[in-house]
């Protein structure tokens, strides 16, 4: 009982910060995308390649969530984009309070778009509101095509599903049609982009979608 009450208090506090973040982002007309996946799906590589592809068109900042280290923030800064590292010190997801802190560290007035790279975890980050504009799910082909069926919560809430590492399709047994059909079963509105951040395959469709969103400041239909 006590545990339930404490967890409820934490969620209420999170919701307050999430609402503040949403108000802040709305006032600045800044789209903010919360990227969620398992560890190793290629989130940081996707973000670094996206930043490079959109250089001169969309000014991007990144909030990097990791349990420990600033390895990913350093990889992002190498592209020239500002990145704020949040270490969760063991926690398996970012909180809205941590995102609020990071939003005040980033040079938001010089940005058109913010990515949040959440801690690698397909489960609880999907349930936690950070005040983001939309959630983006990343699924890489070596993880298996059963993930949308096994972890429906994130795929149900995602505006976009990136199927990454399609360069490895021939070497594995990932069925891209099955994965796509399973996503559509739980989320009719999801946009699916099959990509390889490594080879660049499919990345232009995803980057065009982002460019359109950053120009209109809203999620394209
Ligand atoms: Mg990463
Ligand atoms: Zn968690």
CATH label of the domain that carries residue 43: 3.40.50.300
Q: Considering the domain boundaries, does residue 98 fall inside one?
A: yes
Q: Which residues contact 75 (CB under 8 A, 6 or more apart)?
A: 44, 48
The total number of structural domains that make up the chain: 1
Q: Considering the domain boundaries, does residue 4 fall inside one?
A: no
- pLDDT value, residue 101: 97
Cα–Cα distance list, 130 to 95, 108, 176, 206 (Å) = 6, 17, 30, 23
| Ligand 2 centroid to residue 95 C-alpha, Å | 9
Helix (H, G, I), strand (E, B) or coil at 55: coil
| Ligand 1 centroid to residue 105 C-alpha, Å | 20
Q: Considering the domain boundaries, does residue 3 fall inside one?
A: no
- pLDDT value, residue 122: 94
Residues with CB under 5 A from ligand 1 (ion): 43-44, 72
- Domain of residue 127, residue span: 12-214
| Ligand 2 centroid to residue 201 C-alpha, Å | 32
Q: Considering the domain boundaries, does residue 6 fall inside one?
A: no
**Average pLDDT, rounded, for the chain:** 95
- pLDDT value, residue 219: 81
| Ligand 2 centroid to residue 140 C-alpha, Å | 20
- pLDDT value, residue 7: 76
Q: Considering the domain boundaries, does residue 36 fall inside one?
A: yes
Q: Which residue positions in the chain have pLDDT lower than 50?
A: none
Q: Considering the domain boundaries, does residue 7 fall inside one?
A: no
Give the pTM.
Answer: 0.95
Q: Considering the domain boundaries, does residue 138 fall inside one?
A: yes
- pLDDT value, residue 190: 97
- pLDDT value, residue 1: 61
- pLDDT value, residue 191: 97
Q: Considering the domain boundaries, does residue 219 fall inside one?
A: no
Q: Which ligand is nearest to the CA of 118?
A: 1
């Amino acid at each position: 009982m006590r545990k339930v009450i404490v967890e409820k208090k934490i969620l209420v506090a999170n919701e307050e910060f999430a609402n503040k973040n949403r108000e802040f982002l709305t006032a600045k007309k800044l789209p903010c995308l919360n990227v969620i996946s398992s560890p190793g799906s290629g989130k940081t590589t996707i973000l670094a390649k996206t930043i490079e592809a959109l250089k001169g068109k969309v000014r991007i900042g990144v909030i990097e969530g990791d349990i420990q280290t600033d390895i990913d923030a350093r990889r992002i800064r190498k592209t020239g984009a500002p990145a704020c590292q949040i270490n969760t010190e063991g926690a398996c997801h970012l909180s809205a309070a941590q995102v609020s802190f990071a939003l005040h560290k980033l040079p938001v007035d010089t940005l058109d778009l913010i990515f949040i790279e959440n801690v690698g975890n397909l489960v609880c980050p999907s349930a936690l509101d950070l005040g983001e504009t939309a959630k983006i799910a990343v699924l890489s082909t070596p993880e298996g095509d059963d993930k949308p069926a096994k972890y429906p919560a994130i795929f149900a809430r995602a505006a976009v599903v990136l199927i990454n590492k399609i360069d490895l399709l021939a070497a594995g047994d990932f069925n891209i049609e099955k994965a796509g059909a399973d996503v559509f079963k739980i989320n009719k509105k999801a946009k699916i982009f099959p990509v390889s951040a490594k080879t660049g395959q499919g990345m232009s469709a995803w980057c065009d979608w982002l460019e359109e969103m950053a120009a209109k400041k809203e999620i394209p239909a």
